[in-house]
Amino acid sequence: PELRRFDYWSRLGRLAQEGLDDPDLARKAFEAALKLRPDHRPTLQVLAELYRSLPEPAGLASVLGALLK
């Protein structure tokens, strides 16, 4: 079930980002996915790219810090 929830949030994030052009929904979905798998590098990388386009430097710093671990 946890893997299924992670997959759900990841898919929703991609749909929101690419299909709906809704960066706020995408950010929330990817953050929810990372709560389930905080070390998932592909999701961290996508979220870092997303944060670069949003006015949220603290979020970007947090994700980049997680990528450095």
pLDDT tens sequence across 13-66: 999 999 999 999 999 999 999 999 999 999 999 999 999 888 888 888 988 988
- 62: amino acid identity, one letter: S
pLDDT of residue 58: 84
pLDDT of residue 3: 85
pTM of the model: 0.86
pLDDT of residue 60: 87
Q: Taking the CB of residue 12, how many other CB atoms lie within 10 A of it?
A: 18
Contact (CB, 8 A) for 52 and 62: no
pLDDT score of 10 more than 90: yes
